[in-house]
């Protein structure tokens, strides 16, 4: 890894003439200031070290509290969050919490959920919750995007087939109709009920642990700018529009 990075930097910035005779293999060139000096690659190594430092910049945390059939949630996912995530997933950690305004009570050792848009919404929440628990997020989010585009309560298998995830469908279905999904959905309820301040509507966006009206309204109008402006590191290409840095939107954080 180190070797490849050093080589790619040398390819970009040109190989200094001294390098070949410095007596150290390339994977050690950036291992100490003395060696980089000896090998004539100090500049390249300092660049490489600063690039490494970038990876320590914390990801922007974008939490979405929503429910599967709410039109505003669907709109936020389809027109804002998902397209933004596709562009800048390297700088954002998205957490989806499909529960929203649902309610739960325990009955016979099981949670009984009541959902704002009826039982179908509860099914959709369960399916999405199980997808999030079974698949890595980079597979789960496209799947959920598909469900939100079609019908979260009925199109699971169809969406699985579109994304080549049919082999996961039986376990997702089993989860969503069984005790595992019931308990995972309860976790979503607990997470939602722990919000401070408590959510008053859905979709409800929490950015880096904070919910306020400015964050919410920018999430709904330009989630990409919201994420890019909140990121403390060097902005990735996905933050630019047609090759130019987007004009700074009002700074929130």
Ligand X SMILES: *[C@@H]1O[C@H](CO)[C@@H](O)[C@H](O)[C@H]1NC(C)=O
Q: Least distance from C-beta 104 to ligand X, angstroms?
A: 9
Q: Please count the residues of this chain forming the interface with ligand X, following the rule CB under 6 A.
A: 6
Using CB under 6 A as the binding rule, whether residue 184 contacts ligand X is answered as no
Applying CB under 6 A, which part among 46-54, 75-83, 106-114, 212-220 lies near ligand X? 106-114
* Cα–Cα distance for residue pair 164/145, rounded to 1 Å: 14
Using CB under 6 A as the binding rule, whether residue 232 contacts ligand X is answered as no
x/- mask, ligand X, residues 138-177, rule CB under 6 A, reads ----------------------------------------
| DSSP state string for 54-102 | HTTSPPEEEEEEE-TT-HHHHHIIIIIIHHHHHHHTTTEEEEEEETTT-
Q: Which single residue is written with the structure tokens 């997020």?
A: 137
The only residue of 107, 136, 194, 244 in contact with ligand X, by rule CB under 6 A: 107
Output the CA torsion sign for 69, 73, 74, 77.
negative
Residue with smaller CB distance to ligand X, 115 or 160:
115
Residue with smaller CB distance to ligand X, 93 or 232:
93
x/- mask, ligand X, residues 42-61, rule CB under 6 A, reads -----------------x--
Residue with smaller CB distance to ligand X, 35 or 59:
59
The only residue of 114, 212, 221, 232 in contact with ligand X, by rule CB under 6 A: 114
Using CB under 6 A as the binding rule, whether residue 244 contacts ligand X is answered as no
Using CB under 6 A as the binding rule, whether residue 221 contacts ligand X is answered as no
Using CB under 6 A as the binding rule, whether residue 112 contacts ligand X is answered as yes
| DSSP state string for 25-59 | -GGGTTS-HHHHHHTT-HHHHHHHHHHHHHTTSPP
Please report how many Cα atoms fall inside a 13 Å half-sphere around the Cα of residue 237, on the Cβ side: 2
* Cα–Cα distance for residue pair 62/56, rounded to 1 Å: 18
Give the distance from CA 109 to its chain's centroid: 33
Residue with smaller CB distance to ligand X, 95 or 212:
95
Question: Which phi and psi angles does 201 have, rounded to 5°?
Answer: -160, 175
Residue with smaller CB distance to ligand X, 111 or 158:
111
Q: What is the largest CA-CA distance in the chain?
A: 77
Q: Least distance from C-beta 103 to ligand X, angstroms?
A: 8
* Cα–Cα distance for residue pair 176/143, rounded to 1 Å: 15
The only residue of 46, 93, 154, 183 in contact with ligand X, by rule CB under 6 A: 93
Using CB under 6 A as the binding rule, whether residue 120 contacts ligand X is answered as no
Q: Least distance from C-beta 94 to ligand X, angstroms?
A: 8
- The answer to whether the beta carbons of residues 69 and 124 sit under 8 Å apart is yes
Binding residues (CB under 6 A) for ligand X: these are 59, 93, 95, 107, 112, 114
């Amino acid at each position: 890894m180190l070797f490849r990075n050093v080589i790619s930097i040398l390819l970009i910035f040109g190989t200094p003439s001294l390098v070949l005779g410095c007596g150290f293999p390339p994977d050690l060139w950036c291992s100490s200031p003395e060696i980089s000096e000896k090998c004539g690659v100090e500049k390249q190594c300092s660049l490489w070290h600063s690039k490494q430092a970038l990876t320590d910049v914390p990801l922007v945390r974008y939490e979405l509290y929503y429910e599967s059939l709410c039109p505003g949630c669907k709109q936020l996912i389809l027109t804002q969050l998902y397209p933004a995530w596709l562009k800048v997933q390297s700088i954002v950690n998205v957490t989806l919490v499909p529960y929203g305004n649902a309610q739960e009570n325990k009955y016979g050792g099981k949670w009984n959920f009541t959902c704002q848009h009826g039982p179908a919404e509860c099914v959709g929440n369960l399916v999405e919750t199980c997808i999030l628990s079974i698949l890595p997020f980079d597979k789960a989010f496209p799947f959920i995007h598909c469900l939100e585009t079609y019908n979260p309560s009925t199109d699971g298998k169809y969406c699985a087939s579109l994304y080549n995830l049919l082999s996961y469908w039986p376990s997702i279905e089993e989860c969503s109709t069984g005790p595992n999904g019931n308990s995972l959905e309860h976790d979503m309820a607990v997470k939602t009920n722990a919000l401070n301040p408590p959510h008053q509507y859905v979709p409800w966006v929490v950015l880096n642990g904070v919910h306020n009206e400015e964050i919410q309204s920018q999430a709904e109008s330009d989630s990409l700018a919201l994420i890019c402006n909140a990121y403390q590191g060097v902005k990735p290409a996905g933050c630019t529009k047609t090759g130019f840095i987007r004009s700074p939107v009002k700074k929130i954080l």
